[in-house]
Amino acid sequence: MTIRTVPLSCEIARPIFSLMIAFLPTDLATEPQLFQLRFFKILLALAWASGVALALIGFLFGQTVATGGWLETAAASIGPRAQAMAQVVGGLITLYPDVCIGGWYTLVFWAHSHVGLWLSLFALTVMVPRLITRDRATNALTVYLSRPLTSADYLLGKLGMIVGVLVALWTGPLLLGWFLSVVFAPDTDFIIYSFEPLLRALTFHGIALVALSAIALGVSAIGRTVRNTIPIWIGLWLILGFVAETPKAPEWLQRASFTRNLTETRQGLLRLDAALITASQSLPLIDARFAENLSRAGDKARASDFDGALMSLGVFVLISSFVFTRRLRPE
């Protein structure tokens, strides 16, 4: 199978490929444990730092808006006007906990999903050659499948490798951040009204995990060398994703980018648009211009092709599954 690209794509891919190769660990083919790689240690540190940051943001939010919290204490030292404003904020959260608390956690989980997804994509760039490509290049696949080991067992092992990494980089920090933020929350409203945004965030992660696992296995099964596999992965991720985000990109090209489809899925599931628009319409005593800005931000955050994005991700999974099941045989 020969992969050909237009000259512009080659010019775009060359510096990106060089940068990724320079940043990839040099012991890619010899180090048996992924988590012992320096590159993965950096990714894990960033991932769990984001989880701690999520917990800290939630803790600060809860302690600030709670009755007798930091906001009221600071306002009391400033003057009567500031104290009245602090009481208004506290009253809004008491009267509209679903809008305020639920909207706040929706925004936080939406931001964290960007961090988790990007860290996962960087991790998969290192993992893709280690999944099936290297086994095919060294004829290890023939040895594995000649033992009392079925193709299903082999795939489950590779899939477990991907799931373990994505959970460590995304799901784990997300759950840690949410748990710590609600454990130290001033009341149970923070648990109740943050739970639905958490479920939506976990649903998005589940869809992303299935799609990314299948695509990574499919790309890894295409090539027999790292030199072929990594450019294909980077082309699908960065180059096609960049082109699909251009304003004049046709619909078929947009759906051909799995990163653009994941973005649409995020917007449709986490419903940041609904949280912003509901806040602009429901909360009283807020400035009209501020309410209008919230409404406009909600319109921009609305998913424009949620169903199409889900269908496209399903097609990606089917095609990738066909590729790696066809390639998964002794050579």
Residue-wise pLDDT for 96-142, tens only, equals: 778 888 888 999 999 999 999 999 999 998 888 888 877 777 777 66
Residue 166 pLDDT more than 90?
Answer: yes
Rounded Cα distance between 219 and 3, Å, is 12
Domain count along the chain: 1
Question: 274: buried, middle or exposed (CB in 10 Å: 19+, 13-18, 0-12)?
Answer: middle
Residue 246 pLDDT more than 70?
Answer: yes
From start to end of the chain, where are the E strands? Answer: none
Instruction: Give the pTM.
Output: 0.80
Using one digit for the tens of pLDDT, what is the confidence trace for 58-77? 888 877 766 665 555 665 56
288, part of any domain: yes
pLDDT value at residue 88? 61
1, part of any domain: no
Rounded Cα distance between 92 and 77, Å, is 22
Both tokens of residue 21? Answer: 């190769």
Using one digit for the tens of pLDDT, what is the confidence trace for 199-224? 999 999 999 999 999 999 889 888 77
300, part of any domain: yes
pLDDT value at residue 17? 42
Which contiguous run of DSSP H or E holds residue 283? Answer: none
Tell me the pLDDT band of 91, cut-offs 50, 70 and 90. low
Taking the alpha carbons at both ends of the chain, their separation in whole angstroms is 16
Residue 162 pLDDT more than 70?
Answer: yes
Containing structural domain, residue 166:
7-25+33-64+97-327
Both tokens of residue 134? Answer: 């290297």
CB 301 within 8 A of CB 266: no
73, part of any domain: no
69, part of any domain: no
User: Which carries the bigger pLDDT value, residue 63 or residue 253?
Assistant: 253
Mean pLDDT of 230-247: 85
Q: How far is CA 331 from CA 84, 135, 327, 328, in A?
A: 76, 11, 9, 9
Using one digit for the tens of pLDDT, what is the confidence trace for 10-34? 444 444 444 443 334 433 333 345 6
90, part of any domain: no
Both tokens of residue 26? Answer: 């040099």
Using one digit for the tens of pLDDT, what is the confidence trace for 277-319? 888 887 775 667 777 888 888 888 888 889 989 999 999 999 9
Rounded Cα distance between 89 and 227, Å, is 57
Residues 6+ apart with CB under 8 A from 142: 330, 331
211, part of any domain: yes
Residue 172 pLDDT more than 90?
Answer: yes
